[in-house]
Structure 1
Amino acid sequence: MKKLSLIDKVVFVINTILAAVLLVSFILPFLPPKTFSSLSVLSLGVPFLIIVNVLFFIYWLLKIKRQLILSLFVLIIGYIFYGSLYKFSSSDDTETSPNELKVMNYNVRLFNLYHWIDEKDIDLKIVDFVKSQAPDILSIQEYHPQSNIDFSFFKYRYEKLAGLRTKHGQVILSQYPIINSGSVEFPDTSNNAIFSDIVKGKDTIRVYNIHLESLRIDTDVEKLKEEGSERLFKLAGNTFKMQQFQTELFLLHERQCHYKMIICGDFNNTAFSYVYRKIKGDLNDTFKEAGNGFGRTYAFKFFPVRIDFIFADDAFTVKKFKTFDEHFSDHYPIMTTLSLKAVE
């Protein structure tokens, strides 16, 4: 520190604080929000903290200063436990097989019902986009039935809607027969989890579509500035408590299933959160298996946020994963290609 300029000393103090915060955030997936509600809010900022610490590392590297060790150490710890925020490679498997299954997840934000996006025919563009990608299974959150929304190119469907004036909810659409379906009800909210048991060949696959409690915070930066930090922390903390309770209800239901399993959904939380760790369990995060880039799924301007997921159990090989850039909602669609493993 003695050999650093005044500016570099200030930079290193800030670096130390943000590195320490990032280090603390690595234990968040193990801390239940019901007990650590305020601390759990940090899970939303982990991608930002990682990026900032990468920039600090580059700053000290260019200056050839040993202070680079601080951020490097914290980043290595994070990589060991959680892998890379950015995926540098993806699967190039182009071979197809009869056992393949293309699964898409998409929060469509009511098909732009209230014109959040100033563009015409967003609803029709979403339908056309899905049709062009031809998923075998489509999991939708914030679905709103409308006369011009035609998903009849899927042969089977299960939907669960709520609301008095504006019907909305979750839907699972499938090209393969649905032999059983239902809902995991979350109290005091319109959010829930639905499931469908889908038959492909000789296999029955349980597909879950989960929509955990939303933060209901406007992510526009100027509007965020108008909100008091204390109120934001309290609101986020209470939301994460609800998400934990909803996750516990879901897991009670999921444990009773003995089929091959795929879990899709909008968790309204990141891969560094308690609810992500609990729901994922021993399943494979298809983005981590075959994705590339940051895998951002939510339209936030200043750093990538991944809050939508597709998990699959070990009965499947994850062949491909893609995050699309189509901006028809505040979420981006994601799709994975899975292959059922042969039974030996």
Structure 2
Amino acid sequence: MFGSIRKFLLQLIAGANLATIFIMLFIGYSDRLDPVKHGVLANAGLVFPIFLLINFCFLVFWLCFKKIGVLIPLLGYIFCYIPIRTYIPFNIPRTPPDGAIKVMSYNVWSFAGWERFPDGKFPILEYIRQQKADILCLQEALTNEIGKARVDSVMNKLYQYRDTAMSRPGGDCIAIYSRYPIVSRERIQYPSKGNLSMAYEIKKGSDTIIVVNNHLETTGLSVEDKSSFKSMVKGNLEGTAAKKASYHLVDKLSEASIKRAPQADAVARYLSKHLGRSIILCGDFNDTPISYAHHVISKNLTDCYVESGNGLGFSYHEGGMYVRIDNIMCSSDWQPFECKVDSKIKDSDHYPIFCWLKKRGKP
């Protein structure tokens, strides 16, 4: 009798484990869904780590009660290898070789002009000074909070070549700073009230590099929305309140995804027109590693964090929302090394992401 009950329970748990794997697979490949047609489902990548954890719990269960069952969650991880590696890569660290250039992308949140050291200096500007990146792409680089003169007093000493672009008067501002000459600039056209992407040609020796700086459509979540999300995560919202807050968040995220999809398509079209060129792409995608925006933009590029980074690499950390939404990508003629998200500086709501790139030898 006891043996029959045990067998039934194990079969039930095996079924639950298989269902978890099917959901995990669907979520892992949900980045193929166009948000314009599947707004809610296209945001499924947000819960991908939850199902990775549930599957791990099944693995622990099988180890304790029936070791042969371990094959089920293990096969689930194998089938889901590509999205798992995209979301949480692990690589053997390799020291950047001589001749590698340092690229950094950073959403500076108006340089957090309200934050100062005791000596009056600004943490984000001092951080940028210390990093000594060769190519620096900034998002939300408005100087209203800090003053343009203060930004220029630091950045003009570090970089001879620079450019800024605004979505509209008083709108978002993105900036590029380079140790190498900027020889052309082009705005990638797509519909948006407050976001933009810019493409630059940069001359490094005899090479011409296309550098694309992006700030794609924001999530549109207010301070109150993020506070509600944080309360849900902590379990402080229950019942009707939690249900209402979750529906509201899903609706807002879906709306943002629908706006972001044509922007990502426009960037992808620009990149496809320049296949074979040397490309470095940076920016704040406002979307997860398992998302339509990430998928279509990275199709013909190498995600530097996936290729050379380690761990989850959360680059956004405000309001209890932790996810990697900032990226550096490159064409196949570059080899990335030690891509990192630096969580030591917390003055912006984003952490900076940086990477070393070395030109590959010609075959």
TM-score (structure 1 length as normaliser): 0.86
Report what 2:287 is aligned to. Answer: 269
Q: Superposition pairs for residues 249-264 of structure 1, below 5 Å?
A: 249-257=266-274, 259-264=277-282
- Structure 1 residue 213 displacement after superposition: 0.9
Larger Rg: 2
2-structure distance, mates of 1:30, 1:248: 13
Q: Which runs of 5+ in 2 are unaligned?
A: none
| Residues 278-311 of structure 1, C-alpha deviations (whole Å, 9 max, x = no match) | 1001211111221122222111687852111111
SS at structure 2 position matched to 1:48: helix
- Structure 2 residue corresponding to 1:154, chosen from 154, 159, 165: 159
Change (3 A) 1:9 1:144: farther
Paired residues for 1:1-344 under 5 Å: 2-3=5-6, 18-64=20-66, 66-80=68-82, 82-83=84-85, 85-97=87-99, 100-113=100-113, 119-121=115-117, 124-145=122-143, 146-147=147-148, 148-149=150-151, 150-152=154-156, 153-162=158-167, 164=169, 166=170, 168-217=172-221, 218-220=225-227, 221-222=229-230, 225=237, 228-257=245-274, 259-299=277-317, 305-325=323-343, 326-344=345-363
Equivalent pairs, count: 336
CA displacement at 1:72 relative to structure 2: 2.6
The Cα shift of 1:84 comes to 6.2
Residue identity opposite 1:39 in structure 2: L
Cα deviations by residue, 1:107-144 (Å, 9 ceiling, x for unpaired): 1122225x5xxx53598211111111110001111111
Between 1:64-73 and 1:166-175, the stretch displaced more is 64-73
Change (3 A) 1:13 1:331: farther
SS in 1 for 2:91: coil
Q: Which amino acid in 2 is paired with 1:172?
A: I
1:167 positional shift: 5.1
Kindly indicate whether the alpha-carbon contact (under 8 Å) linking 1:47 and 1:304 is maintained by their aligned counterparts in 2: no
**Alignment partner of 1:32: what SS?**
coil
SS of residue in 1 equivalent to 2:123: helix
The amino acid that maps onto 2:142 is H
Q: Structure 2 CA distance, aligned partners of 1:268 and 1:9?
A: 41
Bigger share in helix: 2
Check whether the contact 1:47–1:303 (CA below 8 A) recurs between aligned residues: no
Kindly tell me: are residues 81 and 111 of structure 1, through their superposed partners in 2, closer, same or farther at Cα, counting changes over 3 Å? Answer: closer
Change (3 A) 1:9 1:109: farther
Q: CA RMSD in A?
A: 2.9
* Unaligned runs of at least 5 residues, structure 1: none
- Of residues 237-246 and 41-50 in structure 1, the stretch that sits farther from structure 2 once superposed is 41-50
**Conserved 8 A contact 1:110-1:168:** no
Q: Report the secondary structure of 1:180's partner residue.
A: strand
Alpha carbons of structure 1 residues 124 and 14: separation in structure 2 relative to 1, 3 Å? farther
Secondary structure in 2 matching 1:245: helix
The structural deviation recorded for 1:18 is 4.0
Which stretch shows the higher mean deviation, 51-60 or 150-159? 51-60
Q: 1:159 to 1:62 in 2, by over 3 A?
A: farther
1:214/1:239 contact within 8 Å kept: yes
Give yes or no for contact 2:226–2:321 (8 Å, CA) kept in 1.
no
CA contact (8 A) 1:47 1:305 kept: no
Sort the Cα spacing of 1:158 and 1:82 in 2 relative to 1 into closer, same or farther, 3 A: same
Identity level (%): 26
SS in 1 for 2:40: helix
Measure, in 2, the Cα distance between the counterparts of 1:91 and 1:327: 25
Shift of 1:205: 0.2
1:90 to partner: Cα distance: 3.4
Name the amino acid aligned to 1:158: D
Q: In the superposition, relative to structure 1, how do residues 293 and 83 fare at CA in structure 2: closer, same or farther (>3 Å)?
A: closer
What is the CA–CA distance in structure 2 between the aligned matches of 1:76 and 1:302, rounded to whole Å? 30
Q: CA deviation at 1:55?
A: 3.3
Question: How big is the shift at 1:237?
Answer: 1.6
